[in-house]
């Protein structure tokens, strides 16, 4: 990566003042003592309310007004997926470092263009793939790098919600790009791929179902986008998958299996598993599958998950200050989007497809 522009004190602007900004970004920016200069949201009243509530000096209904400010060094983008490409592109062109919520983009082409622009501008572009910042995940990664697992040749990523579709823009394909595969699948697939050593993907086979759809929406519980919580949604649109499953093959011969769902008649659970020639591991809870004195053994490690959102933001601010590449950098985002885009393409075509 080209050397990044270094900033001594980081002043942040928020683009998108919805649920994730309120629950994760604002509290943790405050915990780290990072000044929030301005907030922008397509619902201007929401931006003003959040600004007043958190002592943020400036609020806008148009993110372009925020990007004009010289006292904003970096932005956190927490908006519908369809807006990531135009907003991130505009932010980079205005000289701002960017932390963008997942998924990186609607497809791999958009992600690649954003990564190239960030490199040209010598700016940090980081994605909010916060599961890599969990303490238990980092513990497994350290063991992998120390060779404790031998050759890691298999991974399994799982994120099953029995009834957990967020509704709102998440279930509108034109705004989200897809359903649970892009929303929560991106987290466990990225985490497992990272633990496996980030091998180069070469092909993918996926399948999707939409059997429950809008009739299964339970908007009174679980994660809710701000428009749903504030009762701004006038019409329920649900044109994405309920469930996705499949596998990804890698150049080194390894395979990653996955299942993700918002709605299926199955047990709620999530986890990441990797298997190597010497040992394996899964989380949560963190367990190691190994041998002790020649006998099979399961070792339970008490590693607290920590605050992944806090560590994610700490990484972003540190990378901007030091001019270094983040753990969840722009080109990792490109590879993740290549895998997800290929899985959707495979599901449409009914066959395994190459990843280039």
Gap between the Cα atoms of 159 and 261, Å rounded: 7
- In a domain, residue 83? The reply is yes
pLDDT on residue 2:
45
Q: Examine the domain organization and report whether 119 and 253 are in the same domain.
A: no
Interacting residues of 51 by C-beta distance below 8 A, sequence separation 6+: 38, 39, 57, 58, 59
Residue 41's closest CA among 20, 18, 68? 18
pLDDT on residue 230:
63
Beta-carbon count within 10 A of 211 CB: 11
53 burial level (CB within 10 Å; 0-12, 13-18, 19+): exposed
H or E stretch at 353: strand 353-354
The predicted model gives 84-108 an average pLDDT of 98
Gap between the Cα atoms of 265 and 51, Å rounded: 41
DSSP state of 70: T
DSSP state of 286: T
Asked if omega into 103 is within 30° of 0 (cis), the reply is yes
Q: Examine the domain organization and report whether 173 and 245 are in the same domain.
A: yes
Q: With 90 as the cut, is the pLDDT of residue 327 above it?
A: yes
pLDDT digits (tens, 9 = 90+) for 133-168: 999 999 999 999 999 999 999 999 999 999 999 888
Q: Examine the domain organization and report whether 215 and 269 are in the same domain.
A: yes
pLDDT on residue 99:
98
Q: Examine the domain organization and report whether 106 and 217 are in the same domain.
A: no
What is the CATH number for 271? 3.30.360.10
Q: Examine the domain organization and report whether 35 and 174 are in the same domain.
A: no
pLDDT on residue 214:
85
What are the backbone angles phi and psi of residue 160, rounded to the nearest 5°? -110, 120
The count of domains in the chain is 2
- In a domain, residue 137? The reply is no
Q: With 50 as the cut, is the pLDDT of residue 332 above it?
A: yes
DSSP state of 297: E
pLDDT on residue 5:
46
User: What's CA 299's distance to the chain center, in Å?
Assistant: 29
Q: Examine the domain organization and report whether 262 and 237 are in the same domain.
A: yes
Structure tokens at 51: 């600004």
Q: Examine the domain organization and report whether 118 and 262 are in the same domain.
A: no
Q: Examine the domain organization and report whether 166 and 270 are in the same domain.
A: yes
The predicted model gives 33-47 an average pLDDT of 97
SS percent in the chain: helix, strand, coil, step 5 = 40, 25, 35
Tell me the whole-structure pTM to 2 decimals. Answer: 0.94
β-pairing verdict for 12-15 and 58-60: unpaired
The predicted model gives 56-73 an average pLDDT of 98
Domain of residue 224: give its range: 151-276+338-354
The predicted model gives 112-125 an average pLDDT of 98
Structure tokens at 27: 């509290």
């Amino acid at each position: 990566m080209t050397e990044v522009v270094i900033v001594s004190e980081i002043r942040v602007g928020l683009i998108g003042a919805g649920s994730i900004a309120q629950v994760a970004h604002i509290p943790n920016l405050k915990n780290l003592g990072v000044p929030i200069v301005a907030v922008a949201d397509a619902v201007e009243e929401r931006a003003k309310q959040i600004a007043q509530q958190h002592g943020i000096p400036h609020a806008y209904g148009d993110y372009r007004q925020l990007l004009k400010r010289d006292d904003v060094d970096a932005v956190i983008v927490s908006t519908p997926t369809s807006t990531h490409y135009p907003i991130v592109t505009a932010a980079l062109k205005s000289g701002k470092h960017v932390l963008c919520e997942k998924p990186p983009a609607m497809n791999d082409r958009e992600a690649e263009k954003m990564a190239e622009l960030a490199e040209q501008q010598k700016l940090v572009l980081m994605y909010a793939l916060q599961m890599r910042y969990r303490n238990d995940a980092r513990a497994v990664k350290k063991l992998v790098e120390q060779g404790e697992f031998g050759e890691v040749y298999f991974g399994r990523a799982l994120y099953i919600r029995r009834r957990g579709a967020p509704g709102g823009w998440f279930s509108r394909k034109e705004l989200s790009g897809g359903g649970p595969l892009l929303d929560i699948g991106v987290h466990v697939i990225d985490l497992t791929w990272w633990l496996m050593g980030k091998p180069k993907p070469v092909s993918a086979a996926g399948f999707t179902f939409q059997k429950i759809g809008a009739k299964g929406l339970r908007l009174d519980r679980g994660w809710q986008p701000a428009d749903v919580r504030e009762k701004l949604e006038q019409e329920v649109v649900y044109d994405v998958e309920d469930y996705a499953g499949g596998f990804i093959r890698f150049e080194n011969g390894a395979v990653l299996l996955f299942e993700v769902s918002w709605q299926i008649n199955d047990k709620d659970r999530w986890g990441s598993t990797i298997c190597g020639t010497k040992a394996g591991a899964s989380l949560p809870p963190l367990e190691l599958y190994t041998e002790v004195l020649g006998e099979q053994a399961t070792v339970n490690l008490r590693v607290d998950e920590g605050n992944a959102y806090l560590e994610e933001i700490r990484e972003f601010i540190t990378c901007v200050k030091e001019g270094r590449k983040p753990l969840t950098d722009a080109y990792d985002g490109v590879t993740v989007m290549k895998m997800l885009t290929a899985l959707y393409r495979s599901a449409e075509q009914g066959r395994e497809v190459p990843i280039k």
